[in-house]
Structure 1
Amino acid sequence: MLGFTPFKKHANKFNYIPRYYDPEKEAREQRRAELRGERAEDAGREYRPGQYIRTQREARAARHAGTGDRGRTRIFKIAGAMALMLLFIYLLYPRLVNWMLQMQRPVARPVPAAQAEGEFNPYAPIVVVPNDYQKPEAPAAETAEKQAEE
C-alpha cells in the first residue's frame, strides 16, 4: 500500500502495438523499396541492367500522374471565379447601387384628404415648403440711372 493513492494523475492507458501488422512500418518499407527501385513483381527475377532506374522512373510518373490535371483545373476555377466577379460588377453592381440610393431618398407622402379639404387637424404633421420667391429685377436702364446718380 506504499505507492497507492486514490487520486491518479492520469487515467489508465491501454498501449497495444500490433504484432503482425504495422501500417507505419509497411508504408516505410514501401517508400524504401521505391527509393531503391524494387518492386514486388521483381522479387524473384534476375537483375536486369537499368532495372532500378526504370522502377524509380515509373513510380515517380505514377505519383505525379494527376498533378498536371490538378494545376489545369485550378487555373480554370480561378478564371471562372474572375468571370463571375466581372459579370457581377458589370451587370448587378450598378443595379444594387441604384436600389440602395432609392432606399435612402425620402418618400413623398400624399396629403391626407382632411387637409386637402381645408379641415384643420392639430395632430397632423406640418408640411414645410421652401420659399422660392425672388424679387423681380429692375430693368437695365433704371439700374444704370441709379448708378449714375450715386
Structure 2
Amino acid sequence: MNDVAPPPARPAPSGQSVPGHRMRTAIFVAAALGVLVAATILWWPRTTVVKTFSQPPSVVYSDDSPHTVVLQHVHAPIAVLRLSDDSTSSLDHYEVYLGRDPSGGYGHHVRLDATDMDPTRLTVEWATEGVSLNFESGHRVFVPATSFVGGR
C-alpha cells in the first residue's frame, strides 16, 4: 500500500497577517473606541434648568426686549479626576444666565460657588438699573442692566 502523507502546511510568510488576527485586532480597536466614547458621554458635564424668572412688564430696558434669569444646575462628574489644579471646576455648581434667551443658552453668566446657601431658593428683584439675585442666607448678587441688555 502506498500511503502518502499530505505535505505539511506552510507557515504564512512574514509580513503578512492571518485573516483571523486582523479580525481580532479590528474587534479590539472597535471595543476600545466604544468604551472611550461611552466614558466620555457618561462623564460629560450635564446642565439642568432649575428655575426661570421672567422680567415683569413694569420694568423696561433700553433694548425693549423681554429678559429672563435662568438658574441652572451643572453636574460635572469628570471634575472628580482633578485633571488640573483649577479649583473652579467643582463637581456640582449653579450658574445664572441673564438675557433675552429664555433657555439660558446665551446671556450674561454668573457662576455661584458660595457655600452655606441653597441656590434653588433664589429670589429675583427686577429694576431698571439691573437685577438683584437674593438668597435666603443673606447673600445678594447685583447684575447691572448694562451687563445683559442688548444681547450680551
Greater radius of gyration (CA): 1
- State if a TM-score over 0.5 links the two structures: no
By relative contact order (CA 8 Å, sep 6+), the higher-ranking structure is 2
TM-score (ref. length: structure 2): 0.27
TM-score normalized by the length of structure 1: 0.28
